[in-house]
Amino acid sequence: MDSPKIKRAIISVSDKTDLDVFAKGLAEMGVEIYSTGGTRTFLEANGIPCKDISAYTGFPEMMDGRLKTLHPYVFGGILCRHDREDDMAGLQEHGILTFELVCVNLYPFEATIAKPDVTAAQAIEKIDIGGPSLVRAAAKNHLFTSIVTSKDQFQAVLDSMKENGGATTFELRRQLAADAFNHTAKYDRAIANWFSKEVGEGDFPQTLGVTFERSATLRYGENPHQKAAVYAGPNVDQVPNIIRAKQLNGKELSYNNLMDLDAALGIVLRSKNPACSVIKHNNPCGAAEAATLSEACERAMAGDPLSAFGSILGMNRVCDEATAKVLCEPGLFVEAIVAEDFEPKALELLTTVPKWRNNVRLMAAGDLSRAQSEWTWRCIEGGLLVQNADVQDDPEDEWKVVTEKQPTAKQVEDLRFAWNLCRFVKSNAIVLCKDGMLLGAGAGQMSRVDSVKISIEKAGDRIDGAVLASDAFFPFADSIDLAHENGITALIQPGGSKRDQEVIDACNKYGIAMIFTGYRHFRH
């Protein structure tokens, strides 16, 4: 049958953003609006005619609003099949009206439980009952009923009605129904997760349910033959991230761009001083801290200039004009930059320099002072691995100098920088640093001594006086021999090897200072 013209609508919402515009549009097309409590008060205050659902059902709201819309007069009008004579006859027999549109959004449960001092009683009162029931009923009957659950749908519904004589198309109603069931599923999952914590299931509930919403479909995945999309998680608006960053310039982001931008941002978030990171294939090939962002950027790019070509940059400050001038130097080229923001002069420079113009992707991530995500997820075949994120500072009061040689204050400063950095390098990870700058990184090698060799090669003739950080213990003293031969003066590592004493003895032999942190930082 043809799509039914919308004669009547039920509107009952918690979030009333843009509702006045939507309801006026419905009223102007002759739609009779029925509403409840606060929504009816809002509509009437905006001069929009509406009827009280309680007056229609003959049953008052009860229990502080817990019981409002759960009535056969309401659900019969939503669920009736307009092409079934027996359904329509039943409505007529009992004096039930049809409702061709339902506009509902739910009590703000997630916002409520996010408040620091919320009580269980307050949370429970924000568990919506009638709202999800209305949504599910209308979505089930989408052949005849339009279900609106978001202000983002208002204009599409009004446009469809104007183009189709007061009706919506089946294609739109089906999409609205899909959105509606996703809406209630996300809502129920938030409630279930909260209850799991309340009953003491701890950090790892028996059933893990997390809702991710598609943010963008990407051109392709890690390789051109792979399909890909990016999804926003439930905490996307609470943590510093690249998904919500505002793109100010450049082509659309690729899968690999997003991976590297995330890594670049993660590194600089750990620095209290102005810092810049340079990422290639998810590993840092440059990183530095300095008194100014421009100096940090210049030093980071100098860490491994060859690898830095076509890299991704991360900055933990607003990119200023001086920093932009550094990046505009001949011979430098980057794919993308993420910073807290970009000053107008910096933006002008970076988008007009002939070698870049519209090619370089500039991402403003906003406030970077927010706490990072507490948990990480990783897919494996048939399931998911969950762990708390490796973002916390290791307690320095637990660090132990295990050698006869004590590190100088300057060495400790560089060791701290190197230690913070090595957790972002794929294991086995070795980083060499000096004066708050990455000189060389050995990443992803199956043998730790090979990572040491690579980092030494990358550092070149700048290595004398550098410090070394290792993400895990040294299984043998061979790496210490290499460190001594190349002028490395201090080391930092977790400790914990059966051969720790051999490693300590080698350091003492060469006059190298070494710190054990007691914390490992594998990255796979």
Q: Are residues 126 and 173 in the same domain?
A: yes
Q: Does one domain contain both 181 and 291?
A: no
Q: Do 408 and 472 sit in the same domain of this protein?
A: yes
Q: What's the pLDDT tens digit per position in 458-487?
A: 999 999 999 999 999 999 999 999 999 999
pLDDT score recorded for residue 203: 77
* DSSP reduced 3-state for 375: strand
Extract the tokens encoding 20.
């006045």
| Whole-number Å distance between alpha carbons of 111 and 157 | 27
The secondary structure element, H or E, covering residue 343 is none
- 504 pLDDT above the threshold of 90: yes
Tally of domains in the chain? 3
Q: Cα–Cα distance between 433 and 439 in angstroms, integer?
A: 5
Report the CATH number that the domain containing residue 407 is assigned in CATH.
Answer: 3.40.140.20
Same domain, 14 and 152: yes
More confident residue, 37 or 225: 225
Percent of the chain residues topping a pLDDT of 70: 97
Flag whether pLDDT at 88 surpasses 80: no
214 domain residue, yes or no: no
Pair (145, 262) in one structural domain: no
Mean pLDDT of the chain: 90
Residue 345 domain flag: yes
Q: Let me know if residue 391 belongs to a domain.
A: no
The type of residue at 6 is: I
Within-domain flag for 298: yes
**Do both 284 and 342 map to the same domain?**
yes
**Averaged pLDDT for residues 95-120:** 82
Residue 306 corresponds to which amino acid?
L
Does any domain span residue 521? no
Please report whether residue 506 resides in a domain. Answer: yes
Phi-psi bin for 37: left (phi > 0), alpha (psi -120 to 50), beta? Answer: left
**Average of per-residue pLDDT across 160-177:** 93
Q: Are 190 and 233 in a shared domain?
A: no
Domain shared by 355 and 243, yes or no? yes
Q: Is 16 a catalytic residue?
A: no
pLDDT at 126 > cutoff 80: no
Q: Is the peptide bond before 428 cis (omega within 30 degrees of 0)?
A: yes
Three-state secondary structure string covering 409-468: HHHHHHHHHHHHHHCCCCCCCEEEECCCEEEEEECCCCCHHHHHHHHHHHHHHHCCCCEE
User: Is 324 a residue whose pLDDT tops 90?
Assistant: yes
Q: How far apart are the two ends of the chain, measured CA to CA in Å?
A: 57
- Can you give the three-state secondary structure of 313-339, one letter per residue? EEECCEECHHHHHHHCCCCCCEEEEEE
Q: What confidence tens digit (pLDDT) does each residue in 70-82 have? A: 677 788 888 888 8
The residue among 124 and 281 whose pLDDT is bigger is: 281
Is pLDDT above 60 for 68? no
Name the band, by pLDDT with cuts 50, 70 and 90, for residue 64.
Answer: low
CATH code assigned at 81: 3.40.50.1380
Strands, DSSP E only, in 81-135? 101-104
Tell me which of 133-137, 261-265, 480-484 is least confident: 133-137
CA 376 vs. chain centroid, Å, equals 11
pLDDT at 500: 95
- Confidence category of residue 60, pLDDT binned at 50, 70, 90: low
* pLDDT the model gives residue 343: 97
- Judged by phi (left if over 0) then psi (alpha if -120 to 50, else beta), residue 81 lies in beta
386-436: per-residue pLDDT in tens? 998 998 889 999 999 999 999 999 999 999 999 999 999 999 999 999 999
Q: Closest Cα partner for 167 from 26, 4, 32, 10?
A: 4
Instruction: Locate 200 and state its tokens.
Output: 């003491």
**Residue 381 within a domain:** no
Catalytic annotation, pick one of 5, 7, 24, 281: 281
The pTM of the full predicted model, rounded to 2 decimals, is 0.82
* Calpha distance 157→169 (Å, rounded): 9
CB burial of 209-221 (b: ≥16 within 10 Å; e: otherwise) equals: eebeeeeeebeee
Check pLDDT > 70 for residue 249: yes
Give dist(CA 394, CA 498) in Å, integer: 22
Query: CB-side exposure of 519: number of CA atoms within 13 Å?
Result: 17
Domain boundary pick from 181, 198, 215: 198
Q: Do 194 and 234 lie in a common domain?
A: no
Same domain (yes/no): 333, 422 = no
Q: Which domain holds residue 25?
A: 8-198
Catalytically annotated residue among 5, 82, 126, 140: 140
pLDDT score of 26: 92
How much is the pLDDT for 65? 57
Would you say residue 522 lies in a domain?
no
Q: In 3D, which of 468, 475, 461 has the Cα closest to residue 510? A: 468
Using CB atoms within 10 Å of the CB of residue 393, give its burial: 0 to 12 exposed, 13 to 18 middle, 19+ buried: exposed
Catalytic residue list contains 225: no
Residues in the chain: 524
User: Residue 186, class by beta-carbon neighbours within 10 Å (0-12 exposed, 13-18 middle, 19+ buried)?
Assistant: middle
Round to whole Å and give the CA distance between 225 and 42: 52
Q: What is the DSSP letter of 151?
A: G
Indicate if 347 and 413 belong to the same structural domain: no
